[in-house]
Structure 1
Amino acid sequence: MAFTFQINHDVNFDHNEKLLKKTEDNRTKLHHTTVEPVDLVDIIADHSAMNGFKAVSNKNKIESLADYSLGKNGKLVLDFGDHQVGRFSINIDSVGSPMDSPLFLHLTFAETPAEIGIDANSYEGWLSSAWISEEFIHLDVLPTRLELPRRYAFRYVEIEVKDSSPKWLASFSKPIVTTESAVSLQDVPKVEIKDPELKKIDEISIKTLHDCMQEVFEDGPKRDRRLWLGDLRLQALANYKTFNNQKLVKRCLYLFGSMPTTDGKISANIFTNSNPIPDDTFMYDYSLFFISVLKDYFDNFRDTEVLNDLYPVAKKEMDLALEEVDSQGKLQPNEKWPVFVDWSNNFDKQTAGQAILIYVLKQFVELAKVQANEDAAKYQRLIEKYSNFAQKQLFDKTKGFFVSGSKQEINIASQVWMVLAHVLTDEQNKQLMTNGIKRFFPVTGIATPYMYHHIAEALFESDHQKEGIQLIKNYWGKMIQLGADTFWEAFKPEDLHFSPYGSPIINSYCHAWSCTPTYLIRKYLINE
Structure 2
Amino acid sequence: MAFTFQINNDIKFNHNEDLLAKAEANRPTLKHTVVKPTDLVDIVADSAAFNGFKAVSNQQAIENLPKYTLKKGGKLVLDFGDHQVGRFSIDIDSVGSPMDAPLYLHLTFAETPAEIGVEASTYDGWLSSSWITEEYVHLDVLPAKLSLPRRYAFRYVEIEVKDTSPKWQASFSNPEVVTESAVSMDTVPSVKIDDPMLKKIDEVSIKTLHDCMQTVFEDGPKRDHRLWLGDLRLQALANYATFNDSELVKRCLYLFAGMTTVDGKISANVFTEPKPQPDDTFMYDYSLFFISVLSDYYTQSQDMTVLKELYPIAKRQIDLAIAEVGSDDLLKMNEDWPVFVDWSNEIDKATAGQAILIYALKQFVDMAQQVEPTAVQHYQKLVASYSKAAIDQLFDVQQGLFVSGPNREINIASQVWMVLAHVLDDQANNQLMSKAIESLFPVTGIATPYMYHHIVAALFESNHRTDGIKLIKSYWGKMIELGADTFFEAFEPEDLNFSPYGSPIINSYCHAWSCTPTYLIRKYLVN
Tell me whether the two structures share a fold, i.e. TM-score over 0.5: yes
Q: How does 1:64-463 map to 2 (within 5 A)?
A: 64-463=64-463
d(CA) in 2 for partners of 1:49, 1:252: 38
User: Which structure 2 residue ranges, 5 or more long, are not aligned?
Assistant: none
d(CA) in 2 for partners of 1:134, 1:273: 21
Secondary structure in 2 aligned to 1:180? strand
Return the offset for 1:373: 3.5
Secondary structure in 2 aligned to 1:493? coil
Q: Which of 237-246 and 367-376 deviates more?
A: 367-376
d(CA) in 2 for partners of 1:401, 1:316: 32
d(CA) in 2 for partners of 1:449, 1:489: 7
Question: Deviations 1:299-342 (Å, cap 9, x if unpaired)?
Answer: 00000111111001111111000000012210001000000000
Return the offset for 1:64: 0.1
Partner residue of 1:503?
503
**Given residue 380 of structure 2, which amino acid in structure 1 is its aligned partner?**
Q
d(CA) in 2 for partners of 1:333, 1:260: 22
Partner residue of 1:14?
14
Partner residue of 2:489?
489
d(CA) in 1 for partners of 2:310, 2:247: 15
Secondary structure in 2 aligned to 1:171? strand
d(CA) in 2 for partners of 1:444, 1:302: 40
Secondary structure in 1 aligned to 2:215? coil
**Given residue 316 of structure 2, which amino acid in structure 1 is its aligned partner?**
K
Return the offset for 1:444: 0.6
d(CA) in 1 for partners of 2:339, 2:175: 46
**Given residue 134 of structure 2, which amino acid in structure 1 is its aligned partner?**
E
d(CA) in 2 for partners of 1:274, 1:361: 35
Partner residue of 1:46?
46
Question: Deviations 1:356-399 (Å, cap 9, x if unpaired)?
Answer: 00000000000000103311110000000000000100000001
d(CA) in 2 for partners of 1:279, 1:24: 18
Question: Deviations 1:267-303 (Å, cap 9, x if unpaired)?
Answer: 0000112211100000000000000000000000000
d(CA) in 1 for partners of 2:118, 2:373: 58
Secondary structure in 2 aligned to 1:33? strand
d(CA) in 2 for partners of 1:19, 1:373: 25
d(CA) in 1 for partners of 2:85, 2:47: 28
Return the offset for 1:246: 1.1
Question: Deviations 1:421-460 (Å, cap 9, x if unpaired)?
Answer: 0001111110110011111111110000000000000000
Partner residue of 1:26?
26
Return the offset for 1:495: 0.3
d(CA) in 2 for partners of 1:372, 1:491: 43
d(CA) in 2 for partners of 1:389, 1:314: 24
d(CA) in 2 for partners of 1:496, 1:312: 45
d(CA) in 2 for partners of 1:9, 1:526: 48
d(CA) in 1 for partners of 2:45, 2:432: 45
d(CA) in 2 for partners of 1:193, 1:276: 40
**Given residue 197 of structure 1, which amino acid in structure 2 is its aligned partner?**
M
**Given residue 319 of structure 1, which amino acid in structure 2 is its aligned partner?**
D
**Given residue 73 of structure 2, which amino acid in structure 1 is its aligned partner?**
N
d(CA) in 2 for partners of 1:273, 1:33: 23
Return the offset for 1:59: 2.1
Secondary structure in 2 aligned to 1:317? helix
d(CA) in 1 for partners of 2:21, 2:224: 25
Alignment length, in residue pairs?
Answer: 527
User: Which structure 1 residue ranges, 5 or more long, are not aligned?
Assistant: none
The yes-or-no answer on 1:56 pairing with 2:70 is no
Secondary structure in 2 aligned to 1:48? coil
Question: Deviations 1:26-76 (Å, cap 9, x if unpaired)?
Answer: 010100000000000000000111100000000211000000000000000
Q: Which of 94-103 and 368-377 deviates more?
A: 368-377
d(CA) in 1 for partners of 2:34, 2:207: 16
d(CA) in 2 for partners of 1:59, 1:222: 29
**Given residue 462 of structure 2, which amino acid in structure 1 is its aligned partner?**
S
d(CA) in 1 for partners of 2:273, 2:211: 17
Return the offset for 1:161: 0.2
Secondary structure in 2 aligned to 1:136? strand
TM (normalized to structure 1)? Answer: 0.99
Partner residue of 1:523?
523
Secondary structure in 2 aligned to 1:32? strand
d(CA) in 2 for partners of 1:467, 1:373: 40
Question: Deviations 1:87-116 (Å, cap 9, x if unpaired)?
Answer: 000000000000000000000000000000
d(CA) in 1 for partners of 2:2, 2:372: 42
Return the offset for 1:175: 0.1
**Given residue 506 of structure 1, which amino acid in structure 2 is its aligned partner?**
I
d(CA) in 1 for partners of 2:106, 2:56: 21
**Given residue 89 of structure 1, which amino acid in structure 2 is its aligned partner?**
S
TM (normalized to structure 2)? Answer: 1.00
**Given residue 277 of structure 1, which amino acid in structure 2 is its aligned partner?**
Q
**Given residue 89 of structure 2, which amino acid in structure 1 is its aligned partner?**
S
Secondary structure in 1 aligned to 2:374? coil
Secondary structure in 1 aligned to 2:181? coil
**Given residue 154 of structure 2, which amino acid in structure 1 is its aligned partner?**
F
Question: Deviations 1:180-236 (Å, cap 9, x if unpaired)?
Answer: 000000010011011111000000000000000000000000011100000000000
